[in-house]
Structure 1
Amino acid sequence: MNQIRWGIIGTGNIARLFASDFCHAKSGELRAVASREKTSADNFAAEFDIELAFVDYYSLIHSNEVDVIYIATPHMSHFDLTKACIMAGKSVLCEKPFTINEAQSQELFELAAEKEVFVMEAMWTRFNPVIEQVIEWVEEGEIGTLHSVQANFNFLAPTDPEHRLMNLEMGGGALLDIGIYPVFLAQLLCGKPDFIQNQAVIGETNVDVFEQLLLGWNSGQLASLEASLISCNPNRAVLSGAKGYIEIDSPWYMAKSCRLINHEGQERAVEFDFPGLGYQFEVDEVNRCLMEELLESPNHRWEDTLELIATLDEVRQDIGLQYPGEPDFYEEDLEHHHHEHHHHKH
């Protein structure tokens, strides 16, 4: 396999960003794209110089022309498409959230293990050089014991009730789409939380439009996180430790710079000059894993995805946000969660 051949399912915004950055990856060939609309598939293929355009997702999945498929469709379809790819023996990079709940993710990982197919959640931020630098600083004890993580992901989303972010039928809401990033950062550094509290605002279309989460660990670490589809914010992240703090510049989830400030106020700044937005780094990771015949990335493991979605499940259960077709909030879990319910309709 000298050039790993990639296919993309979906031609929306995230697919475009991914395709634009693909040329900056160290290797791999963007060979095919699939959309349910012929015009979209053809235009996308023409724009990004992709040889094959399919008008049906499954024709791409079963094509012999691709080795790995990037799934860039809305959340609700991730489970079925990833499952079809695994059954067809195709490696998968599936956009986050990997699926809409933990049960679905668990099922896919079990299937991938059985069929021996590589799958990874497209948590692109994990592979950003700034995040790699931050992990290194924290692990080397540069800020001493890490005490707190503060991170936001806020932006003004379209208010159209039919838009996927506002539409319950499409798995809408702030938490799964953007809240997943701050939770990812906190769990990357501290592991799965022992305590989860939240305040959420449910918008007019019955999806969460704004929430603040407080995560706690038995070790005494705390994370204060925010996600919003209705407000602007610099979207910086701050990691505070016993000897100093790290500030990841805005927007932290795709940053090109970060700073380490010690308790005496001395600053060390690091800047990375990479082309594009940084989607190429997850492509490099998948290619490397495929070359090494791994089933999962050691840097964003199946376990990491499961721990991430488990936290989001717990928050959704608490705010009563359920998606169509989901089992009724995992009845067996309910007695374990005696949360106070704070959610506000407006």
Structure 2
Amino acid sequence: MKKVRWGIIGTGQIAHVFAGDFCHVKAGELRAVASRDKASADAFSDEFDIELAFVDYFSLINSNEVDVIYIATPHVYHYDLTKACILAGKAVLCEKPFTLNEAQSRELYDLALEHDVFVMEAMWTRFNPVIEQVVEWVEEGEIGNLNSIQASFNFIGPTDPNHRLLNLELGGGALLDIGIYPVFLAQLFFGKPDFVQNQAVIGDTNVDLFEQILLGWEGGQLASLDVSLISHNPNRAILSGSKGYIEIDSEWFRAKSCRIVTADNKERAVEFDFPGNGYQFEVDEVNRCLAEGVIQSPNHSWQDSLELIATLDEIRQDIGLYYPGETNPCDDHHHDDEDLHDHHHEHCHHKH
């Protein structure tokens, strides 16, 4: 099998972690990187021994030297760059959230289908061996009926108002960057929620700093999730069932161990001794899908990604958080997409 040739767009923190884990992938070669800053592109290519360094994104996208492109830019650029990759016939692994909202994501997945191009949201946690183990335990009924999930993702974020995490123009805020993880975990087991409740704190730069989210399902399941850019937390996840519970150790989204505790307090722990942070597993998944000729992963499908962003949209509508260019249903002008927003008019909050 020929080596899959990878390119990276963006040279920020996440790109560094991804490239650092790339040496652990089963197959594939890191061939090119693109940054709008020449010094940054050159430094990155030197650090990770990457042959090609491009100074603009589209030179990489149109290069014949790469088969698949990992997009590691701030959220707000994901849509345009993924679209350009699809139109150039390049497979895409785009950092989460795939786009800012469901409408953008839906458009891109439709385009990928039309052009027969592989696309996946980079929900790397899904492919972590610990998560695979937990899924297996739940499916095998090891803790009986799973009915409750608690998960946190908290850390002390930046204070610079221009940092992408605090910048509304760049799609900043806690929810899209890290809130997506606990919501993902809940939906991995329960599907899209039937009820969404949340409380959020909006900071000085008009993005969300932290929220507590309660998701509910018609079947009687609940998920209690919290996410924060201003608090410390052990960042564990607990899945509770009728016969016991599973605890995913800190930090659960990149954990190397988990345990199952039965109702009679018998404990079984599992540890996985994998190198790096675990980004290699999503790369392996993309390479596997490309080898099989499929255009989406069955383990994090387009539908999974769409349902995830739809829940995040609902939470954002509820707290009145809109990014530049998005339609705020609370505005007084006329909407052609009234049906898109009709069930959320009662949730409009105006920030004073």
Mapped partners of 1:309, 1:152: distance in 2:
18
Aligned to 2:220: 220
Aligned to 2:269: 269
Mapped partners of 1:61, 1:344: distance in 2:
40
Q: Does 1:194 align with 2:201?
A: no
Q: How does 1:66-105 map to 2 (within 5 A)?
A: 66-105=66-105
Aligned to 2:301: 301
Q: How does 1:1-346 map to 2 (within 5 A)?
A: 2-329=2-329, 331-337=338-344
Q: 8 Å contact 2:69–2:85 — kept in the other structure?
A: yes
Aligned to 2:332: none
Q: CA deviation at 1:226?
A: 0.5
Mapped partners of 1:277, 1:268: distance in 2:
24
Mapped partners of 2:271, 2:61: distance in 1:
39
Q: 8 Å contact 2:71–2:78 — kept in the other structure?
A: yes
Q: CA deviation at 1:338?
A: 6.0
Q: CA deviation at 1:337?
A: 2.8
Mapped partners of 2:182, 2:159: distance in 1:
23
Mapped partners of 1:337, 1:161: distance in 2:
30
Equivalent AA in structure 1 for residue 109 of structure 2: F
Mapped partners of 1:302, 1:130: distance in 2:
23
Q: CA deviation at 1:327?
A: 2.7
Gaps of 5+ in 1: none
Q: 8 Å contact 1:7–1:30 — kept in the other structure?
A: yes
Mapped partners of 1:33, 1:93: distance in 2:
14
1:37-61 per-position Cα deviation (integer Å, ceiling 9, x unaligned): 0000000000000000000000000
- Secondary structure class of the residue paired with 2:274: coil
Q: 8 Å contact 2:182–2:225 — kept in the other structure?
A: yes
Q: Sequence identity, in percent?
A: 75
Q: 8 Å contact 2:82–2:108 — kept in the other structure?
A: yes
- Secondary structure class of the residue paired with 2:233: coil
- Is the alpha carbon distance of 1:178 and 1:264 closer, same or farther for their aligned partners in structure 2, counting shifts above 3 Å? same
TM-score, length of structure 1 as denominator length: 0.98
Mapped partners of 2:218, 2:57: distance in 1:
45
Mapped partners of 1:83, 1:327: distance in 2:
21
Q: Which runs of 4+ in 1 moved over 4 A?
A: 338-345
Q: CA deviation at 1:342?
A: 7.8
Q: CA deviation at 1:334?
A: 2.9
Q: CA deviation at 1:340?
A: 5.4
Mapped partners of 2:347, 2:15: distance in 1:
39
- Secondary structure class of the residue paired with 1:247: strand
Q: 8 Å contact 2:87–2:115 — kept in the other structure?
A: yes
Mapped partners of 1:93, 1:161: distance in 2:
29
Q: 8 Å contact 1:198–1:342 — kept in the other structure?
A: no
Mapped partners of 1:339, 1:243: distance in 2:
40
- Is the alpha carbon distance of 1:226 and 1:157 closer, same or farther for their aligned partners in structure 2, counting shifts above 3 Å? same
1:197-249 per-position Cα deviation (integer Å, ceiling 9, x unaligned): 00000011100000010000000000000110000000000000000000000
Q: CA deviation at 1:344?
A: 8.8
Mapped partners of 2:347, 2:51: distance in 1:
54
1:176-199 per-position Cα deviation (integer Å, ceiling 9, x unaligned): 000000000000010000000000
Q: 8 Å contact 2:201–2:211 — kept in the other structure?
A: yes
- Is the alpha carbon distance of 1:64 and 1:328 closer, same or farther for their aligned partners in structure 2, counting shifts above 3 Å? same
Q: 8 Å contact 2:123–2:300 — kept in the other structure?
A: yes
Mapped partners of 2:248, 2:346: distance in 1:
32
Cα RMSD (Å) of the superposition?
Answer: 1.3
Mapped partners of 1:303, 1:338: distance in 2:
26
- Secondary structure class of the residue paired with 2:165: coil
Q: 8 Å contact 1:31–1:65 — kept in the other structure?
A: yes
Count of residue pairs brought into register by the alignment: 345
Q: 8 Å contact 2:317–2:348 — kept in the other structure?
A: no
- Secondary structure class of the residue paired with 2:344: coil
1:238-288 per-position Cα deviation (integer Å, ceiling 9, x unaligned): 000000000000000000000000000000000000000000000000000
1:46-78 per-position Cα deviation (integer Å, ceiling 9, x unaligned): 000000000000000000000000000000000
Q: 8 Å contact 2:24–2:280 — kept in the other structure?
A: yes
- Is the alpha carbon distance of 1:100 and 1:340 closer, same or farther for their aligned partners in structure 2, counting shifts above 3 Å? closer
Gaps of 5+ in 2: 330-336
TM-score, length of structure 2 as denominator length: 0.96
Q: CA deviation at 1:332?
A: 2.9
1:16-41 per-position Cα deviation (integer Å, ceiling 9, x unaligned): 00000000000000000000000000
